[in-house]
Amino acid sequence: MRTNRPNSAERQARIDLAAAFRWTARLGMHEAVANHFSLAIDGTGTRFLINPNQMHFSRIRASDLIVVDASDATTLDRPNAPDPTAWGLHGGLHGHCGHARCVMHVHSTYATVLASLADSHLPPIDQNCATFYGRYAIDNDYGGLAFTAEGQRCAALLDDPQKQVLIMGNHGVVVIGDTVADTFNRMYYFERAAKTYIHALQTGQPLRVMCHDIAAKTARELADYPEQATRHLDELKAILDAEGSNYGQ
């Protein structure tokens, strides 16, 4: 919600976030114009980039992203304000969870199916599922649209820095991380893991669930896997660049 030129670090942040929007749309993980991503751009984490109100992910450019401050209670009264539920959820997270530098919220198909089950746990039945073993929280108390009070309630569920995914019962999923690359990669793999689990349930056959020690070991190893998230996003940007996409403008 300011017009002065961003510095080089913010410029790169905008480019990365715009690329994540574009690729999320390409994967069909968005829902019309209802979902939102944000990225902190100051030391406290309260000032953050977020997508403009109800702009389609497939059209978002780096320069389209707006800047808001979680500590500014007048945000929704200002021109070019974000979507009210985006403000409620992301403002709550950036205001409450300093470790949530980047926040991605989607209603992607398989994560939402998982959030619709009476038991929304994700058992470690394969390597992707094990990535999230002990690293997600489940919200069993959906309270309607994520306006300010609901956003603050959801933010409190991610107090533990090790919990980087919130399975929002009856709603969707929130994924947090240190950078755009880190968070996008986590969101991507959570959707893949949920897809594997939902398809496995559909077979009606018994599940091959890893024991606690192996699942925990696998989660640690994947968390420490070098450069995967950064390389993933770099490759996506390279594809977009080769196609002549205007996401970076």
- Domain definitions of the chain by residue range: 8-242
Give the pairing type, strands 136-139 and 66-69: unpaired
pLDDT of residue 5: 61
Residue 159, judged by CB atoms within 10 A of its CB (0-12, 13-18, 19+), counts as exposed
Can you read off the two tokens belonging to residue 245?
């996409």
Tell me what pLDDT residue 37 has.
98
Residue in 175, 197, 189, 232 with CA at minimum distance from that of residue 126: 197
Q: Residue 2 has what pLDDT?
A: 44
Q: Which CATH architecture has domain 8-242?
A: 3-Layer(aba) Sandwich (3.40)
Across the 249 residues of the chain, what is the mean pLDDT of every consecutive 10-residue run?
A: 67 98 98 97 96 97 97 92 96 96 98 98 98 98 94 96 97 98 98 98 98 98 93 98 98
CB atoms within 10 A of CB 164: 24
Q: How far is CA 222 from CA 122, 188, 228, 246, in A?
A: 16, 14, 9, 33
What pLDDT shows up at residue 242? 98
